Amino acid sequence: MNALPLIHSAEVAAAKASGRPVVALESTIITHGMPYPQNLEVARQVEDDIRGVGVTPATIAVIDGKLHIGLEVDQLETLAQAKGVAKLSRADLAVCMATGGTGATTVAATMIGAERAGIDVFATGGIGGVHRGAENSFDISADLMELAQTRVTVVAAGAKAILDVDKTLEVLETQGVPVIAYGQDSFPAFWSTTSPLKAPLRMDSAEEIARAHRMRALLGLPGGQLIANPIPVESEIPAHDLAPIIAKAQTDADAHGIRGKAVTPYLLQRIFELTEGRSLAANIALVRNNARLAAQIAQALSDLAREA
């Protein structure tokens, strides 16, 4: 076993063979981010949104020890219904694969898979970040350090208010990660188009973002870019509606002693329950919006490569 056990779906293999652009998608959002059956519907819809731009989607996951770049229809269905699937970040990926396990990839692990498969762009909902109270818990997502070392452009809707957004931006700055708001100055706040914080950088087109991605590579800089794409305004939920719900979810997590990698899935699940699905509709809208932008960036990168 000297080769990395990496399997492309038929669709991704065909796209790569003919040099067509591919966008990576994570699988933790399916197994730990949304309830069944909406998770499956959304996963399929998001793949179709990418195909609608003429780009190929590659949902990434580990199945029976193999790193899958793109899932077949039955594999996606099985994963969406599976219970107790492992959540894999940078720390867990190799152990899961070496032991023949099955797991869903977080932003960090999906970036690693995408880079190994030669995929430059990845769409998700929200990234992990610095949790509230991190000065005591030290709970800082490995996603932030991954953005600093793995060369993938990640499109997300900013950071959820379950995180300390100020501290998350500070860590990204320290790590040298470009945080680029798309089409506005404000750093978007996941369910809301804007936050009180200004994003460090702004770009207004997929082409500019593609050029910046390429320029980082030409400079020999490791690491990716975080594109903060605001939720479509018609789908947003005002921050003040969610603030008490997030506070309650956090109190419940503390009361139940939720720690480590269980924290983010617990908070997401609790917020779905407490909003009775309202957060889910917004979540779906923003993930689809991110998928479309990611596909445009992947297309622009592919056009740039052809020019050069």
Q: Which of 247, 258, 248, 265 has the alpha carbon at shortest distance from 137? A: 258
Q: Do residues 174 and 148 touch, judged by C-beta distance below 8 A?
A: no
Preceding omega of 37 cis (within 30 degrees of 0): yes
Among 143, 194, 228, 272, binds ligand PSU (CB under 6 A): 143
Sketch the per residue contact string, 129 through 148, with Mn ion: x for CB under 5 A, - otherwise: ----------x---------
Rounded least distance, CB 75 to ligand PSU, Å: 18
Rounded least distance, CB 83 to ligand PSU, Å: 17
Q: What span, in angstroms and rounded, lies between the C-alpha atoms of 43 and 287? A: 9
Q: Do residues 123 and 293 touch, judged by C-beta distance below 8 A?
A: yes
267 contact partners, CB below 8 Å, separation of at least 6: 162, 246, 249, 250, 253
Question: Footprint of ligand PSU on residues 101-140 (CB under 6 A)?
Answer: 106-107, 125-128
- The count of chain residues that interact with ligand PSU, using the rule CB under 6 A, is 18
Among 9, 28, 168, 225, binds ligand PSU (CB under 6 A): 28
Q: Which of Mn ion, ligand PSU, none does residue 28 bind (CB under 5 to 8 Å by kind)?
A: ligand PSU
**Identity at 286, one-letter amino acid code:** L
Q: Which of Mn ion, ligand PSU, none does residue 39 bind (CB under 5 to 8 Å by kind)?
A: none
Is residue 208 classed exposed, middle or buried when 0-12, 13-18 and 19+ CB atoms within 10 A define those classes? middle
Our finding on whether 89 is near ligand PSU (CB under 6 A) is yes
Strand-strand pairing, 22-25 and 225-228? unpaired
Q: What span, in angstroms and rounded, lies between the C-alpha atoms of 218 and 151? A: 12
Our finding on whether 288 is near ligand PSU (CB under 6 A) is no
Nearer to ligand PSU, 294 or 300 (CB): 294
Q: What share of the chain is helix, strand, coil (3-state, %, to 5)?
A: 50, 15, 35
Among 12, 21, 23, 26, binds ligand PSU (CB under 6 A): 26
Hey, what are 176's tokens?
């040298």
Hey, what are 179's tokens?
């945080």
Rounded least distance, CB 267 to Mn ion, Å: 10
Rounded least distance, CB 208 to ligand PSU, Å: 26
What DSSP designation does 125 have? S
Nearer to ligand PSU, 122 or 182 (CB): 122
Our finding on whether 264 is near ligand PSU (CB under 6 A) is yes
In the complex, the residues that contact Mn ion under the rule CB under 5 A are 139
In the complex, the residues that contact ligand PSU under the rule CB under 6 A are 26, 28-29, 33, 89, 106-107, 125-128, 141-143, 160, 261, 264, 268
